[in-house]
Amino acid sequence: MSAIWNPAVETMPREELRQLQWERLQSTINRCYRYVAYYGSVFNEVGVQPEDLQSFDDLRRLPFTTKQSLRDSYPYGMFAVPLREVVRLQSSYGTTGHPTVVGYTSNDLDHWTDLVARSFTGVGIGKEDVVQIFFGYGLFTGGFGFHYGAEAVGAAVIPVSSGDVERQLRVMQDFRTTALAGTPSHALHMGRMLEKLDLDPHSLSVRVGLFGAEPWSENTREEIERLLLLTAYDSYGLAEIGGPGVSAECECRCGLHLAEDHFYVEVVDPDSGEPVPEGELGELVFTTLTKEAFPLLRYRTGDVASLDTSPCACGRTLARMSRIKRRTDEVLIIQGIRVAPDDVGEILRAFPEVGEAYQLVGREEGQGDALEVLVEVGVIQDLSLQSLERLRERLEENLRRTLGLELTVRLVEPQTLHGPAGRQPRIRDERAL
Ligand code: DLL
């Protein structure tokens, strides 16, 4: 079994961990109440003072923080420190309108690096490794998050960033990459390209991959492992809570160990908001315990998973979450990018030739994940093939540019998507999840 990055915390008896969480929770509650105007008014509205919260259960007296609260506070309204103490800004990726801006103090960055270092160490990636990071570097938290974590464990990091699969393969061969970090869909794509180009996977040195940022299945895992001859692990996180490093699998691959010393996790029924018993599926709700710049209380993730606090064979005592089974809201994650139907609708509304209904279809194609947007045409004077094709191209170009994502548009006849049988769902995910 691989080493443990921070054994003092990762194998801490759960009683002690609870105590540590409680101390940190109290200071986070105070920080939010005093320094984040939004939380100040939330406390006043529900008639609660920080000192009224005397147990983890009491935390439930506070309402959930939602994506909407973050949108309303765009860009810096939820920050608990002045900007001069912020040393990094990142953002949630791929949604239009108002994405969430997250800030980090220097301590926040140290913690983040430490968490990703835990994830790498947990899957046996360390000093001896050459790590190729093909998450995007930029506002998306994947690239920089994984980068600093990999450096911290002493690996040689190749910051190749996302893009061009053939180039990735060339770098993998030439630099003798031993570990990959990126989205599973991109890894799969790389594997398939290898096969297509008839390159022998045995000519590569890669042995392990740490993947995440999007839903993937056991089938995809097996396929990636078969094509690239590596062992693939899952890692999870979200920008609002800090980015990757929130949880990751260990070599036992029986759930993702949560960094409970930095996050207090609740699993709730998405409809009632009430806690569900351990082991049952529910929506993950996070309270940050150490964040200085961007603390959040009871943040609803929209991600559905279950929790398991039983001991793990690896020796870690940190609870494990299952894979993310689904989302509570209507969001399609394609190539690691979250696409909300409302965002697509907003773009389409600018085109008078477009009808009411549209549908986002996620597919698995030879090249990896693909998004097709079906758009009903509206009232159009000129129904010539040429003019329809021009409309299609304009829509495609506009959606691609705004969503920052490769996609295709198909025009469909009026009433196809909301015919007599009722309105079709705005999302259809045909990938074998
Ligand atoms: O995806 C952070 C990250 C980067 C995680 C690299 C892991 C690796 P966001 O762009 O804010 O942040 O997207 C977060 O992506 O709420 C989930 O719905 C989804 N997601 C992330 N990891 C997984 C995973 C990063 N392993 C949103 N399985 C989250 C399923 C995932 N869904």
> For the segment 412-422, what is each residue's pLDDT rounded down to a tens digit?
987 777 644 45
Res. 247 pLDDT band, cuts 50 70 90: very high
Give the mean model confidence (pLDDT) for residues 196-200. 93
Cα distance between residue 98 and residue 302, in whole Å: 18
Ligand 1 pocket, residue 214 CB under 6 Å: yes
Cα-to-centroid distance, 236 and ligand 1 (Å): 5
144 lines ligand 1 (CB under 6 A): no
> Using a 6 Å cutoff on CB, does residue 249 contact ligand 1?
no
Using one digit for the tens of pLDDT, what is the confidence trace for 363-393? 888 767 899 999 988 877 788 999 999 999 9
- Ligand 1 pocket test: pick from 324, 332, 427 the residue with the most ligand atoms within 8 Å of its Cβ: 324
- Residue-range domains of the chain with CATH: 7-16+73-329 (3.40.50.12780), 334-429 (3.30.300.30)
- 135 CB less than 6 Å from ligand 1? yes
pLDDT at 214: 86
CA 203 to ligand 1 center in whole angstroms: 31
How remote is the CA of residue 225 from the centroid of ligand 1, in Å? 21
- The pLDDT of residue 422: 53
According to the model, what pLDDT value does residue 94 have?
45
> Does residue 246's CB lie within 6 angstroms of at least one atom of ligand 1?
no
Q: Residue 200 — very low, low, confident or very high, per pLDDT cuts 50/70/90?
A: very high
pLDDT at 93 over 70: no
Whether the CB of 339 sits within 6 Å of ligand 1: no
Instruction: Inform me whether the pLDDT recorded for 236 exceeds 80.
Output: yes
Residue scoring higher pLDDT (189 or 237):
237
Instruction: Look at ligand 1, atom 21, and give the residue with the nearest C-alpha.
Output: 213
Compute, in angstroms, the gap from residue 383 CA to the centroid of ligand 1: 42
pLDDT bin (cut points 50, 70, 90) of residue 132 is very high
Strand-strand pairing, 101-104 and 88-91: antiparallel
13-56 tens-digit pLDDT? 999 999 999 999 999 999 999 999 999 999 999 999 999 999 99
Q: What is the pLDDT of residues 1-14, one digit of tens each?
A: 889 999 999 999 99
Q: Is the shortest distance between the CB of 301 and ligand 1 below 6 Å? A: yes
CA distance 121 to 133: 16
Q: How confident is the model at residue 181 (pLDDT cuts 50, 70, 90)?
A: very high
Cα–Cα distance, 374 to 161 (Å, whole number): 31
Question: Cβ(242) to ligand 1 under 6 A?
Answer: no
Which pTM was predicted? Answer: 0.84
> Does the CB atom of residue 183 touch ligand 1 within 6 A?
no
Our answer on whether the CB atom of 403 is closer than 6 Å to any ligand 1 atom is no
Atom of ligand 1 nearest to the CA of 243: 2
**330 or 376: which leads in pLDDT:** 376
- The string of pLDDT tens digits covering residues 257-274 is 999 999 999 999 999 999
Mutate to test the pocket of ligand 1, among 186, 214, 299, 335 (most ligand atoms within 8 A of CB): 214
The residue whose CA has the least distance to atom 13 of ligand 1 is: 238
Mean pLDDT for the stretch of residues 311-338: 90
Averaged pLDDT, 213-241: 94
pLDDT at 433: 53
Find the 372 Cα to ligand 1 centroid distance in Å: 21
* pLDDT per residue as tens digits for the range 153-172: 999 999 999 888 999 999 99
Q: How confident is the model at residue 105 (pLDDT cuts 50, 70, 90)?
A: very high
Query: Looking at residue 423, what is its pLDDT?
Result: 59
Share of the chain above pLDDT 90, in %: 75
Which pLDDT does position 190 carry in this prediction? 93
Q: Is the CB of 143 under 6 A from ligand 1?
A: no
- Mean local confidence (pLDDT), 105-128: 98
Q: Which atom of ligand 1 sits closest to the CA of residue 215?
A: 30
Determine which residue's CA is closest to atom 27 belonging to ligand 1.
238
Q: Kindly give the distance from the C-alpha atom of residue 418 to the centroid of ligand 1, in angstroms, as a whole number.
A: 32
> What is the predicted pLDDT for the residue at 420?
45
The values of phi and psi at residue 296, to 5°, are -135, 140
Indicate if the pLDDT at residue 95 is higher than 50: no
Structure confidence at residue 61 (pLDDT): 97
Supply the mean pLDDT for the chain: 92
Ligand 1 within 6 A of 236 CB? yes
Using the mean position of ligand 1's atoms as its centre, give its distance from the Cα of residue 333 in Å: 9
pLDDT average, residue stretch 279-307: 97
Q: CA–CA separation, 361 vs 46, rounded Å?
A: 41
220 lines ligand 1 (CB under 6 A): no
Task: State if residue 157 touches ligand 1 by the CB under 6 angstroms criterion.
Answer: no
